[in-house]
């Protein structure tokens, strides 16, 4: 029993440590809805704390009532023990006791119903507060498509040459509303960045919208919040909120097509990329690779992670991912690629240069 308890505590502690370490080494904020960084999340967090405090108070009341009842029962038994030989005086008290018990039960029922209505009202108020304060007219519009198991983001613009697509990692300006137009290519997914907003489903054949804003710069982790198959847990993404100037610089960089390969290795890597099965699924703008089945790789080198947030973006992980993705993310649509050591090294060199 003690061992099991200790083990459970150890697991919880190690999970907490892993969370802190991950947060520490990537600069990503702790994924938490009670650490709000925007107006939507702040309203949700307020509701959460309201419920937490009131439920704690109710719990404390119940515990006090329980202690009181146990003590009263003990006293009554003692008194009954003392006067056991006397003419049963308890019988005379019975109707009065029954009345007081009835009053307590009615009181508790009324209180429960009132509290449920209070929660209903607070939930309604929160819903309104989430949807009202932002102006969608001034919003930055992004199309989000969910795939098993990654995210495509297309930044909208009235001028088509100012539009671009990326995957799993986006930057947004702080203080500006962001309007997401979302759909899914296969099954239902759910978009959720706890620090910034509540959940919203992505449904095949249907469009859903989500309006939110980040008030604080930071890197916020998002996670698919609707079970969508084998790798549901490995369908995360990142939102980097930064100053409007920094965002503009990132956006301008994303608009560029392929970074031209400079070294011999990079040139060879480009040839490998264009002759291997990569181009059946991926796009690198500025080359003949233009398929949309997998993530757009035009600026893959600028992302901090690959495989929808599960691997750090470095040469070693890129090589592992290209040669044997099934061992990292079983069930992923990305097939294994048998390449010679030289070709693989050149390909990784080329991809890493796509900043």
For 201-237, b where at least 16 C-beta lie within 10 A, e where not — what string?
Answer: bbbeeeebebbbbbeeebbbbbbbbbebeebbebbbb
Maximum separation of any 2 CA atoms in the chain, in Å: 108
User: What is the token pair recorded at 131?
Assistant: 């949807």
User: What is the token pair recorded at 243?
Assistant: 């100053």
CA–CA distance, 311 with 328 (Å, rounded to integer): 9
- In the complex with ligand CUA, the residue whose CB is nearer, 226 or 296, is 226
CA–CA distance, 250 with 242 (Å, rounded to integer): 10
Distance of closest approach, residue 235 Cβ to ligand CUA, in angstroms: 4
Distance of closest approach, residue 129 Cβ to ligand CUA, in angstroms: 27
The answer to whether 152 touches 295, Cβ cutoff 8 Å, is yes
- In the complex with ligand CUA, the residue whose CB is nearer, 189 or 268, is 189
Distance of closest approach, residue 228 Cβ to ligand CUA, in angstroms: 3
Q: Where are the beta strands (DSSP E) in the chain?
A: 140-147, 150-155, 164-167, 169-173, 178-184, 189-191, 200-202, 208-212, 218-223, 236-242, 305-306, 311-312
Question: How many residues can be counted in the chain?
Answer: 355
In the complex, which residues of this chain contact ligand CUA (CB under 6 A)?
A: 146, 149, 189, 224, 226-228, 232, 235
- In the complex with ligand CUA, the residue whose CB is nearer, 36 or 194, is 194
Distance of closest approach, residue 209 Cβ to ligand CUA, in angstroms: 18
CA–CA distance, 237 with 169 (Å, rounded to integer): 6
Distance of closest approach, residue 176 Cβ to ligand CUA, in angstroms: 27
Distance of closest approach, residue 223 Cβ to ligand CUA, in angstroms: 8
- In the complex with ligand CUA, the residue whose CB is nearer, 46 or 232, is 232
- In the complex with ligand CUA, the residue whose CB is nearer, 149 or 220, is 149
- In the complex with ligand CUA, the residue whose CB is nearer, 202 or 344, is 202
């Amino acid at each position: 029993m003690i061992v099991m308890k200790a083990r459970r505590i150890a697991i919880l502690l190690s999970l907490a440590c892993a969370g802190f370490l991950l947060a520490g080494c990537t600069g990503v904020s702790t994924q938490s809805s009670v650490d709000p960084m925007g107006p939507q999340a702040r309203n949700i967090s307020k509701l959460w704390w309201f419920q937490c405090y009131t439920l704690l108070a109710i719990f404390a009341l119940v515990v006090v009532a329980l202690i009181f009842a146990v003590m009263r029962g003990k006293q009554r038994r003692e008194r009954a023990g003392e006067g056991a030989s006397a003419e049963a005086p308890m019988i005379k008290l019975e109707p009065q006791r029954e009345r007081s018990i009835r009053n307590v039960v009615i009181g508790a029922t009324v209180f429960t119903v009132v509290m449920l209505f209070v929660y209903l009202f607070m939930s309604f108020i929160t819903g309104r507060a989430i949807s009202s304060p932002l102006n969608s007219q001034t919003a930055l519009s992004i199309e989000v498509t969910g795939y098993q198991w990654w995210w495509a983001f297309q930044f909208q613009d009235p001028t088509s040459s100012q539009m671009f697509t990326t995957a799993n990692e986006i930057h947004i300006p702080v203080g500006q509303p962001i309007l997401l137009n979302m759909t899914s290519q296969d099954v239902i997914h759910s978009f959720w960045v706890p620090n910034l907003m509540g959940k919203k489903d992505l449904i095949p054949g249907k469009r859903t919208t989500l309006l939110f804003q980040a008030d604080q710069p930071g890197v916020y982790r998002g996670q698919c919040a609707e079970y969508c198959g084998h790798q549901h847990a490995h369908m995360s993404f990142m939102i980097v909120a930064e100053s409007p100037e920094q965002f503009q610089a990132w956006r301008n960089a994303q608009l560029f097509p392929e970074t031209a390969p400079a070294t011999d290795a990079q040139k060879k890597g480009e040839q490998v990329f264009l002759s291997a099965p990569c181009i059946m699924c991926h796009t690198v703008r500025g080359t003949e690779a233009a398929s949309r089945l997998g993530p757009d790789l035009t600026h893959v080198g600028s992302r901090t992670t690959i495989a929808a947030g599960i691997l750090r973006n470095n040469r070693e992980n890129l090589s592992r991912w290209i040669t044997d993705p099934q061992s990292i993310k079983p069930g992923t649509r990305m097939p294994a690629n048998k390449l010679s050591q030289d070709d693989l090294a050149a390909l990784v060199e080329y991809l890493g240069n796509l900043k």
